[in-house]
Amino acid sequence: MANTLNIVQAVNQALMNEMENDPSVVVYGEDVGVEGGVFRATVGLQEKFGVQRAFDAPLAESAIVGTAIGMAINGLKPVVELQFMGFSYPAFNQIISHVARMRNRSRGRYTLPMVIRAPYGGGIRALEHHSESTEALYAHIPGLKVVIPSTPYDAKGLLIAAIRDPDPVLFLEPKRIYRAFKQEIPEEAYVLPIGKAKVVEEGEDVTIITWGAMVRDVQKASEMVKSKGINPEIIDLRTISPMDRDSFIESVKKTGRAIVVHEAPKSFGAGAEIVSIINEKAFLYLEAPPTRVTGFDTIFPLPRGEKHYIPTPERIAKTIEDVVKF
């Protein structure tokens, strides 16, 4: 059977599937239990599985992640929710000092099969710390996987894969598209491989590498330039770490041009790493310098400014035209 779901509903169904299939899976976090999450991604879990497996935690991110470490070492599979990515900073010490290092520290004796979920990115006119896109910060930490879905189908398959993974996964959910569209997905559990990108559109003129909410904006930009005879190839990375380098290297070798699109600030972002990889592995195939369309090197602006900060289809389309004409 299949259901037509948005991303929030797909996340909820993934949690339902895994809690039904595996009694060691527990879900908790800020407003996760009684209210079903600030975006209602965990609605119905407490009613179905009880307060011992789906419950509210104190507003203390360090404690939420810290207790999950102990649970994971002792045989549970905690899936914890931090209400927004910008609220993850109080837990940063736990994440970088313990979550990411436990397998190495114990020489493989202990692993941490745990997932840290967080809505991330802008676009909902929220306040400070509610619109962060700092995926590069966490992707820089060895031992931590960073996954960002862009569709309901991917959200469910990647979240189930993350829950079943023996190592810790930071699962970032682009809240701007939580309810933007629906997709038919299987009702039963399925898995998408972590670390494998997806070719969203095939083309021959320029490779566009992106992820999360930006995928839809890149697709809109692609439609704008197709009327001018430009056919982009769009790659959705899905996973920032580990990164599927082969996917975009082979594409760039075909197209000779590359653009990276992400919402995060430009400097030291994942886009810089991707451009570096392209220069190292596909330099002789390039017809133009690889470029980036990103947010700006500023704190994410409060509600009135976000429309000037987040890359728009128009800005992406203009860059595509400039790169192809180079």
User: What are the pLDDT tens digits along the chain (326 aa)?
Assistant: 789 999 999 999 999 999 999 999 999 999 999 999 999 999 999 999 999 999 999 999 999 999 999 999 999 999 999 999 999 999 999 999 999 999 999 999 999 999 999 999 999 888 888 999 999 999 999 999 999 999 999 999 999 999 999 999 999 999 999 999 999 999 999 999 999 999 999 999 999 999 999 999 999 999 999 999 999 999 999 999 999 999 999 999 999 999 999 999 999 999 999 999 999 999 999 999 999 999 999 999 987 889 899 999 999 999 999 999 98
HSE at residue 131, side-chain half, CA atoms within 13 A, is 23
Predicted confidence at residue 140, as pLDDT, reads 97
C-alpha–C-alpha distance, residues 65 and 81, integer Å: 9
pLDDT of residue 212: 98
- What distance lies between CA 197 and its chain's CA centroid? 12
In this predicted structure, what is the pLDDT of residue 302?
82
- Give the whole-angstrom CA distance, residue 302 versus residue 45: 33
Among 235, 230, 240, which Cα is nearest to 253's?
Answer: 235
Q: For the residues of 162-205, what is the DSSP string, one character each? A: HHH-SS-EEEEEEGGGTTS--EEEESS-----TT--EEEE--SS
* pLDDT of res. 2: 86
Tokens of 256: 């000779």
Tokens representing 259 are 């653009």
pLDDT at 303: 79
- Tokens at 104, concatenated: 């190495």
Q: What is the pLDDT of residue 326?
A: 84
Q: Which residues contact 138 (CB under 8 A, 6 or more apart)?
A: 95, 144, 146, 170, 241
Where are the alpha helices (H) located in the chain, listed in sequence order? Answer: 7-21, 45-49, 61-73, 92-94, 102-105, 135-139, 152-164, 214-226, 245-255, 270-281, 306-309, 313-325
**CA–CA separation, 48 and 67 (whole Å):** 23
d(CA 74, CA 105): 16
pLDDT of residue 305: 86
Measured N-to-C along each axis, helices 313-325 and 214-226 cross at an angle, to the nearest 10 degrees, of 50
Spatial CA neighbour of 295 closest among 326, 321, 252, 260: 260
Q: Given 130, 140, 262, 308, which residue is catalytic?
A: 130
Pick from 267, 313, 309, 314: nearest CA to 292: 267
Cα–Cα–Cα angle for 213, 173, 208, rounded to 5 degrees: 30
Contacts for 138-142: CB closer than 8 Å, 24+ residues apart: 138/95, 138/170, 138/241, 139/240, 139/241, 139/243, 139/270, 141/95, 141/96, 141/100, 142/100
130 given a catalytic annotation? yes
